[in-house]
Amino acid sequence: MMKHLKKKICVLLAAALVMAGVMTGCAFGGQKNGGKNTVSTAPSEPFDPHKFGMDDLTVNGNVKLGMTVDEVKEILGQPDSEETLTDEFIYGKNTLMTYGGLSLTFFDPDGGDDFRLGIISSTSENDKFVGGLHVGCSADEVIADFTRDEEVLPLYFDSVEESCGDYLYGTFTRDDFLLEKPEGVIQYAYINKWGMEDSGEYLLEYYYYNPLIWAGEYSGYTGDYYSMVFYVDAESNLVSGINLNYDVLL
């Protein structure tokens, strides 16, 4: 258990250090399944702006973080590819399935074979996330769907004198997690422009913790926490990739 708690605090700090959502190197493309239509249409009801939370953990309206391998196959059928990998340093044993451009990674944090969906990743316009958001939509559309505070706060890091982004909502910084040790339901999001000059892209990052529990100086945090990351081309301001993560599994 201690090993898994250490994994969890590493993932949390990675999020605070603008690393979450970059951890997967999955394959991408368009979704297909032997002629069966597996892509849902955009929601028929208007999408009300809100903060990222439990209702936003799905792709195509029917595949949700936390599902088992069998549950996903029941919906999407057999994948285009499937392989089980072992990464002792970060992920442990995990299974990667691809459906054209949709990559799904399953984890068992206890080291067994009870794999649960921990990463949903897409660079296909066919895959619809909450509110109908998809690769090819604009960053403005993403921000409009998720609440932005009236007062936008600059995002700073100790090693950088200038701001490398702005908060969209919430005020939790990297130092807050280590020094103030907040707990309970926490939601925050920010525009992350760290390294944009080199990569040509920036990130829209959303985080939801329910609950977040401080487990001690050497154990870090436990609880359920999720993240959603939109990769945005800095020149066109269009989304080029989307990651949805069940961080407690990673």
Two structure tokens written together for 80: 């285009």
Two structure tokens written together for 41: 């249409």
Provide the residue ranges of all domains of the chain, joining segments of one domain with +: 2-249
Angstrom distance (rounded) from CA 62 to CA 99 = 14
**pLDDT at residue 29, rounded to an integer:** 30
* Mean pLDDT on 148-177: 77
Rounded percentage of the chain residues whose pLDDT exceeds 70: 74
- Could you write out the three-class secondary structure of 92-112? EEEEEEEECCEEEEEECCCCC
Per-residue model confidence as pLDDT tens digits over 53-79: 999 999 999 999 999 999 999 999 999
Please name which of 172, 177, 250 lies closest in space to residue 213, comparing C-alpha atoms.
177
Q: How far apart are the first and last CA of the chain?
A: 14
Residues 6 or more apart whose CB falls under 8 angstroms from that of 247 comprise: 8, 11, 12, 15, 20, 118, 225, 226, 227
Asked if residue 140 has pLDDT above 50, the reply is: yes
Q: What is the DSSP string of 138-167?
A: BHHHHHHHB---SSPPB--BTTBSS--EEE
